[in-house]
Amino acid sequence: MTNSYIWFLPFGVILYLMIMDENITKYVILLFESLSVYAEKKYLMIKLHPFWFTNPISQRIMMKKYEKMAQKLLTNHKS
């Protein structure tokens, strides 16, 4: 129960400041947008890394892509 109060205090203060000052609201929105952009940048860096054969995440993504392409070609070839 104490843990929830510990988390409630900073978020309550931030919410209070957001209600009182419009600039803080804009700052919080900008902060979340910048976090979203940062996460998307990291995702694209991992996905489109030029040496994808050494990156296990990109390798798995490319293998899935190649498997889908192979299945599509096999279905087109059979019909």
pLDDT tens digit sequence for 6-54: 889 999 999 999 999 999 999 999 999 999 999 999 888 877 766 655 6
Q: Which residues form the domain of 57?
A: 50-79
In this model, does residue 71 exceed pLDDT 60? yes
- Asked whether residue 1 falls in the same domain as residue 39, the answer is yes
- Asked whether residue 60 falls in the same domain as residue 28, the answer is no
Structure tokens at 32: 């979340």
- Asked whether residue 39 falls in the same domain as residue 60, the answer is no
Give how many domains the chain has, as a whole number: 2
Q: In which residue are the tokens 């931030």 written?
A: 14
- Asked whether residue 35 falls in the same domain as residue 9, the answer is yes
Q: In which residue are the tokens 């489109």 written?
A: 48
Q: What is the pLDDT of residue 2?
A: 77
Q: What is the DSSP letter of 1?
A: -
Alpha helices (runs of H) in the chain, residue ranges in sequence order: 2-20, 22-47, 56-78
- Asked whether residue 31 falls in the same domain as residue 12, the answer is yes
Q: In which residue are the tokens 């609201």 written?
A: 25
- Asked whether residue 55 falls in the same domain as residue 41, the answer is no
